[in-house]
Amino acid sequence: MRLATVAGAALAVGLSTASPALAATTIPINPGNVPTTAADYEQGCDFGGGPYADKDVWVFVLPGNSGDFVTVTATFSTPEGAVTRTIPTDGGAIVDNKGTSKAWIATAAGWTLTGATAEITGTSPQDQFNLTHTCAATGKGTPTPTPGGSGSPSPSASVSPDTSGSVTPSTTPGTGGGSGDLPITGTGVAGIALFGGALVAGGVALLVLRRRRDITPVA
């Protein structure tokens, strides 16, 4: 009877000491790993099927080989505000990689990891886990060609003929007497000729009349 009592007590003590090791514990991410974008972190595309053109893959590790991830909850800063993703509830997976527990998840490209917590079984020697590497989107930051850009000719760049060397004659006759004056033609020339002829004829008639008066005898 006493032997059974001792054995039962020993079993109870053993279960009580073992239960904390089996209970889930929540630990934070290494504060030195955040904040960061996937593009600014160490790259490695061995999990999640990347690289993708428009997605970032984040890979977390539980160091020490003494426990396993149950869940990993990560918080991201995005253009729409803060977003929380939990692995594996919201995607990704928890895997055993050569005795080390790792977790990964894919997000939209360009998000910034600002913090994370993990629920684990067992213990973590450092009481924290790490962001081990990322697989950044390959299409992030790739410029899209647009018409009229630096690689396309712009209609405004067309060259117009230079007419600055051409000489335009003056349209005002007789102003300045320079090379820009136009010759007088047409009715203007005829009028001047008629006027000149009348003057000559008048002069001749006057001269004849005076000579006739000079040679007429006085009565």
pLDDT of residue 126: 76
Q: Of 8-17, 120-129, 174-183, which one has max mean pLDDT?
A: 120-129
Task: Give pLDDT tens digits for 152-176.
Answer: 444 444 444 454 544 444 444 444 4
Query: E-assigned strands of 109-185?
Result: 112-122, 130-135
For the cut 60, the answer to whether the pLDDT of residue 143 exceeds it is no
Q: Which residue has the higher pLDDT, 162 or 106?
A: 106
For residue 108, list its beta bridge partners.
55
Q: Give the residue-averaged pLDDT of 33-47.
A: 98
pLDDT of residue 123: 73
**Cβ contacts of residue 166 below 8 Å, gap of 6+?**
none
The secondary structure element, H or E, covering residue 76 is strand 67-78
Q: Give the residue-averaged pLDDT of 21-28.
A: 77
For the cut 90, the answer to whether the pLDDT of residue 28 exceeds it is yes
Mean pLDDT score of the chain: 72
Domain boundary assignment for the chain: 21-135
Q: Give the residue-averaged pLDDT of 80-93.
A: 98
For the cut 70, the answer to whether the pLDDT of residue 66 exceeds it is yes
As a whole number of Å, the CA-based R_g of the chain is 53
Task: Give pLDDT tens digits for 196-214.
Answer: 555 555 554 555 445 555 5
